[in-house]
């Protein structure tokens, strides 16, 4: 069937609208729900616009949820920091040096990525139990760092693919020692890869449910708290917290994107 | 010419595993000169440069810069700077920051940095580019930044690793002259690596021709061209006709006669050639002559095959009986034999170069059973 030019334009517009609806409608529902003035389960009937759920987040009535959220943020930040440092060093080291067993290490990096999360969760739990490590913040951070490292390595490695080692030689040649060269040249040039890896690690850590479920002990974390509470309908306080997270994410993305646009880096 | 030796490479060998990249290299670089390491790829010229810069360590031998051995000194402890083939500009820094990088590391006061950077950018004609990023520059401009970044450090020696390799022909020619002018003006010693013999001839005070890790010959462009000491040097620099043969008569006062596959030829007498020795003769096309009559001392003959007009000169190919070709050049307008005509190639005995042919397989075989 042939369409006129106008017809094609209309058809394309409809496709676009449908795709974007599919992507953003669920998010819109979450945000809308956070403003719902309803008090009764399952919180699905619209009772008018209100900011009361946002207020309750901060007035102490949702202390358990807020505590879980705090734990999640702390775990995410710590494991992001650790996995970014370790992952970057792994990527740079594997790029620069040749050593025995490099191919094996390379292959093993993919294991945490492809292994079913439930297997990883069980194995970590067994390991911690055997080693008699009390389950809690520590085991959560170790577990999250472990599964985040490969993602950092892959991102930094992608950046290294287009990396010209002679910029490091040029830095040494101009009088900088190896440490100065690493901080002045290697890290800034790899920064986009390191940053992408860190963001991915942060995201993975925040919304991890399965592995956290096995290793959290008595420590409450946000995703598990949400899982618990939805048994009796999603309370709008969860919507409100999600909306706040969403807002921060959007702000962050806008900031980094405009930064990328305004600076002329060689890509 | 200043005779002070600024870089002294003595008996340097370099192996990569079993691969002998540089063998027994001896090279003295004089202060203020423009010295070129010339050779085809894989001949060890870049490795030599990198050993001087400190990016590679010699397997054995010693390198001295300004009289001091530099073994074990890292690149940042040597007062030499390098211009890399890929420019190696820091992509995340502006042109100003790129050039100021070394000065900042050296903790030069801020005001001095600003003047030195702007002076050097003026010298390489890049004023006004301070705030741009490398990605916004053309190849030629990046090249200038790389040179400025190295020169601003006032190095004792500037090492340049095929710096013009990535530029197009026209820009390359222009940059060759600019670099040469810059070097004269600043009086800094340049050690330059290239595989382009024309580039080497244009820019250098002296050329070191390298072949398979060995320094074949070191000399001025004129020496290298007029008196090549090995067959490789003769064939690598410019066009030449190569004849291989055996000395069949030595009269040290008058002449040496050499027997070739296609006949006998005569070369000027010189010391060091024995009867029966295998030799290579190199005759430049502009020195080769042809006659319609046999000449005394020469019994070569051939048939004129064709002519190639290259503007001011005409190149002519002559086929010898063993189907080898020789080439001679004449100025356009000269009278020339016709294609198909039989001619007798010859040369003035002084116009050719006689080279010991030590890599002749037959010679080596005979030597091994002590026949020569």
- B171 and B289 housed in the same domain: no
Average pLDDT, chain B: 89
Q: How far apart are CA A117 and CA A115, in angstroms?
A: 6
Between B349 and B209, the more confident residue is B209
Q: Cβ contacts of residue B243 below 8 Å, gap of 6+?
A: B258, B260, B265, B280, B281, B283
* Closest C-alpha among A148, A152, A155 to residue A75: A148
A-chain residues near B76 (CB < 8 A):
172-177
- B80 and B194 housed in the same domain: yes
In A, minimum Cα distance to B80 occurs at: A173
Residue B89 pLDDT grade (very low, low, confident, very high; cuts 50, 70, 90): very high
Structure token digits, residue B288: 């080769």
Structure token digits, residue B125: 């004609």
Is B101 in Cβ contact with A173 (below 8 Å)?
Answer: no
pLDDT digit string (tens) for A51-73?
888 888 888 777 888 888 899 99
Is A180 in Cβ contact with B92 (below 8 Å)?
Answer: no
Number of domains in chain B: 2
What is the dihedral angle through the alpha carbons of A232, A237, A242, A246, rounded to the nearest 10 degrees?
150
**ipTM topping 0.90:** no
The pLDDT of residue A133 is above 50? yes
Is B91 in Cβ contact with A173 (below 8 Å)?
Answer: no
- B206 and B257 housed in the same domain: no
Contact assessment for residue B103 and residue B117, using Cβ atoms and an 8 Å cutoff = yes
Residue A250 pLDDT grade (very low, low, confident, very high; cuts 50, 70, 90): confident
When computed from its CA atoms, the radius of gyration of chain A, rounded to whole angstroms, is 23
Q: How far apart are CA B15 and CA B57, in angstroms?
A: 10
Interface test with B, best of A159, A168, A170, A192 (most B CBs within 10 A): A170
Q: Tell me, rounded to whole angstroms, the distance of Cα A42 from its chain centroid.
A: 29
The topology under which CATH files domain A63-235 is MetI-like fold (1.10.3720)
> Cα angle at A222 between A216 and A223, to 5 degrees?
80
A184/B contact by beta carbon, under 8 A: yes
Percent over 70 (pLDDT), chain A? 94
* Closest C-alpha among B82, B105, B85 to residue B93: B105
Q: Which of B76, B89, B102 sits opposite A177 (nearest CB)?
A: B76
* Closest C-alpha among B106, B129, B102 to residue B118: B129
- B246 and B109 housed in the same domain: no
Q: Which of B198, B232, B266 is the last residue of a domain?
A: B232
- B86 and B215 housed in the same domain: yes
A-chain residues near B92 (CB < 8 A):
188-189, 191, 265
The secondary structure of chain B, three-state, reads CCCCEEEEEEEEEEEECCEEEEEEEEEEEECCCEEEEECCCCCCHHHHHHHHHCCCCCCEEEEEECCEECCCCCHHHCCEEEECCCCCCCCCCCHHHHHHHHHHHCCCCHHHHHHHHHHHHHHCCCCCCCCCCHHHCCHHHHHHHHHHHHHCCCCCEEEEECCCCCCCHHHHHHHHHHHHHHHHHHCCEEEEEECCHHHHHHHCCEEEEEECCEEEEEECHHHHHHCCCCHHHHHHCCCCEEEEEEEEEEECCCEEEEEECCEEEEECCCCCCCCCCEEEEEECCCCCEEECCCCCCCCCCEEEEEEEEECCEEEEEEECCCCCEEEEEEECCCCCCCCCCEEEEECCHHHCEEEECCCCHHHHHHHHCCCC
Which CATH number goes with the domain that contains B167?
3.40.50.300
Interface test with B, best of A173, A184, A259 (most B CBs within 10 A): A173
- B295 and B311 housed in the same domain: yes
B-chain residues near A180 (CB < 8 A):
105
Give me the residue label for tokens 């069949």. B248
Mean pLDDT score, A158-182: 91
Lay out the sheet containing B255-260: strands in order across.
Answer: B263-267, B255-260, B241-251, B278-283, B353-356
- B95 and B223 housed in the same domain: yes
- Count of Cβ atoms closer than 10 Å to residue B148 Cβ: 24
Is B101 in Cβ contact with A167 (below 8 Å)?
Answer: no
pLDDT digit string (tens) for A77-112?
999 999 999 999 999 999 888 888 888 988 999 988
Interface test with B, best of A174, A193, A259 (most B CBs within 10 A): A174
Residue B343 pLDDT grade (very low, low, confident, very high; cuts 50, 70, 90): very high
A132/B contact by beta carbon, under 8 A: no
- B146 and B75 housed in the same domain: yes
Q: Which of B189, B205, B232 is the last residue of a domain?
A: B232
The shortest C-alpha distance from A201 to chain B (Å) reads 24
Strands (E), A84-153: none
pLDDT value of position A32: 87
Average pLDDT, chain A: 87
- Give per-residue burial for A62-93: e unless 16+ CB within 10 Å, then b: beebbebbebbbebbebbbebbbebbbebbbe
Q: How far apart are CA A33 and CA A35, in angstroms?
A: 5
pLDDT digit string (tens) for B195-224?
999 999 999 999 999 999 999 999 999 999
- Grouping H, G, I as helix, E, B as strand and the rest as coil, residue A49 is strand
A183/B contact by beta carbon, under 8 A: no
β-partners of residue B116 are: none
- B44 and B144 housed in the same domain: yes
CA distances (Å), origin B172, targets B147, B196, B329: 14, 11, 27
pLDDT digit string (tens) for A189-247?
999 899 999 999 998 998 888 999 998 888 888 888 888 877 777 778 888 888 888 89
- B188 and B43 housed in the same domain: yes
* Closest C-alpha among A253, A243, A237 to residue A202: A253
Q: How far apart are CA A157 and CA B221, in angstroms?
A: 47
- B355 and B220 housed in the same domain: no
Q: How far apart are CA B60 and CA B11, in angstroms?
A: 7
pLDDT value of position A152: 95
Is B105 in Cβ contact with A174 (below 8 Å)?
Answer: yes
Q: Which of A166, A175, A180 sits opposite B84 (nearest CB)?
A: A166
Contact assessment for residue B278 and residue B357, using Cβ atoms and an 8 Å cutoff = yes
Interface test with B, best of A165, A175, A187 (most B CBs within 10 A): A175
pLDDT value of position A266: 42
- Count of Cβ atoms closer than 10 Å to residue B24 Cβ: 14
The shortest C-alpha distance from B21 to chain A (Å) reads 21
Half-sphere exposure in the Cβ direction for B54 (13 Å, CA): 25
B-chain residues near A98 (CB < 8 A):
none
Is A167 in Cβ contact with B133 (below 8 Å)?
Answer: no
- B207 and B253 housed in the same domain: no
Q: Which of B232, B263, B291 is the last residue of a domain?
A: B232
pLDDT digit string (tens) for A151-162?
999 999 999 988
- Give per-residue burial for A227-257: e unless 16+ CB within 10 Å, then b: eebeeeebbbbbbbbbbeeeeeeeeeeeeee
Half-sphere exposure in the Cβ direction for A255 (13 Å, CA): 6
Structure token digits, residue B218: 């070191």
- Count of Cβ atoms closer than 10 Å to residue B336 Cβ: 16
Which CATH number goes with the domain that contains B316?
2.40.50.140
Residues of the domain holding B362? 239-368
């Amino acid at each position: 069937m042939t369409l006129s030019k106008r017809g094609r334009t209309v058809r394309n517009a409809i496709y676009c609208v449908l795709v974007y609806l599919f992507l953003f409608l669920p998010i819109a529902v979450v945000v809308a729900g956070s403003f719902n003035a309803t008090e009764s389960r399952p919180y699905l009937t619209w009772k008018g616009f209100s900011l009361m759920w946002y207020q309750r987040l901060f007035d102490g009535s949702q202390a358990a949820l807020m505590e879980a959220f705090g734990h999640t943020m702390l775990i995410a930040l710590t494991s992001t920091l650790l996995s970014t440092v370790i992952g970057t060093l792994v990527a740079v080291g594997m790029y620069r040096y040749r050593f025995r067993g490099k191919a094996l290490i390379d292959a093993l990096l993919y294991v945490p990525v492809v292994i079913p999360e439930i297997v990883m969760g069980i194995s970590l739990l067994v390991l911690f139990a055997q080693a008699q490590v009390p389950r809690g913040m520590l085991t959560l951070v170790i577990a999250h760092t472990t599964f985040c490292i490969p993602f950092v390595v892959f991102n930094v490695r992608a950046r290294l693919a287009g990396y010209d080692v002679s910029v490091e030689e040029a830095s040494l040649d101009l009088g900088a020692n190896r440490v100065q060269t690493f901080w002045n040249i290697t890290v800034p040039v790899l920064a986009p890869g390191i940053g992408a890896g860190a963001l991915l690690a942060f995201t993975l850590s925040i919304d991890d449910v399965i592995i956290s479920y096995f290793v959290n002990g008595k420590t409450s974390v946000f995703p598990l708290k949400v899982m618990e509470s939805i048994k009796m309908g999603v309370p709008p306080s969860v919507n409100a917290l999600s909306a706040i997270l969403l807002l921060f994410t959007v702000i962050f993305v806008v900031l980094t994107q405009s930064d990328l646009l305004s600076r002329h880096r060689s890509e | 010419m200043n005779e002070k030796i600024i870089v002294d490479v003595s008996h340097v060998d370099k192996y990569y595993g079993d691969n002998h990249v540089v063998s027994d290299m001896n090279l003295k670089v004089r202060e203020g000169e423009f010295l070129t390491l010339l050779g085809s790829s894989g001949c060890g010229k870049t490795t030599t440069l990198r050993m001087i810069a400190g990016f590679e360590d010699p397997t054995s031998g010693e390198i001295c810069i300004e009289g001091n051995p530099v073994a074990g000194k890292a690149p940042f402890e040597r007062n030499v700077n390098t211009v890399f083939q890929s420019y190696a500009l820091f992509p995340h820094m502006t042109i100003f920051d790129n050039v100021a990088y070394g000065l900042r590391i050296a903790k030069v006061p801020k005001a001095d940095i600003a003047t030195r950077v702007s002076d050097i950018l003026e010298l390489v004609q890049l004023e006004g580019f301070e705030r741009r990023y490398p990605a916004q520059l053309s190849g030629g401009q990046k090249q200038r930044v790389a040179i400025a970044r190295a020169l601003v450090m006032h190095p004792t020696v500037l090492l340049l690793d095929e710096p013009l390799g990535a530029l197009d022909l026209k820009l390359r020619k222009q940059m060759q002259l600019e670099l040469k002018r810059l070097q004269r003006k600043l009086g800094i010693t340049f050690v330059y690596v290239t595989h382009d013999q024309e580039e080497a001839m244009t820019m250098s005070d002296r050329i070191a021709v390298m072949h398979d890790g060995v320094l074949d010959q070191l000399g001025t462009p004129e020496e290298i061209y007029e008196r090549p000491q090995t067959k490789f040097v003769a064939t690598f620099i410019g066009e030449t006709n190569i004849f291989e043969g055996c000395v069949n008569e030595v009269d040290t006062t008058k002449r040496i006669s050499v027997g070739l596959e296609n006949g006998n030829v005569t070369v000027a007498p010189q010391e060091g050639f024995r009867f029966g020795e295998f030799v290579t003769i190199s005759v430049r096309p502009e020195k080769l002559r042809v006659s319609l009559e046999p000449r005394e001392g020469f019994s070569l003959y051939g048939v004129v095959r064709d002519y190639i007009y290259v503007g001011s000169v005409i190149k002519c190919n002559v086929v010898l009986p063993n189907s080898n070709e020789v080439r001679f050049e004449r100025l356009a307008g000269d009278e020339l034999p016709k294609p198909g005509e039989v001619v007798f190639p010859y040369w003035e005995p002084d116009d050719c170069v006689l080279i010991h042919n030590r890599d002749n397989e037959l010679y080596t075989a005979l030597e091994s059973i002590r026949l020569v």
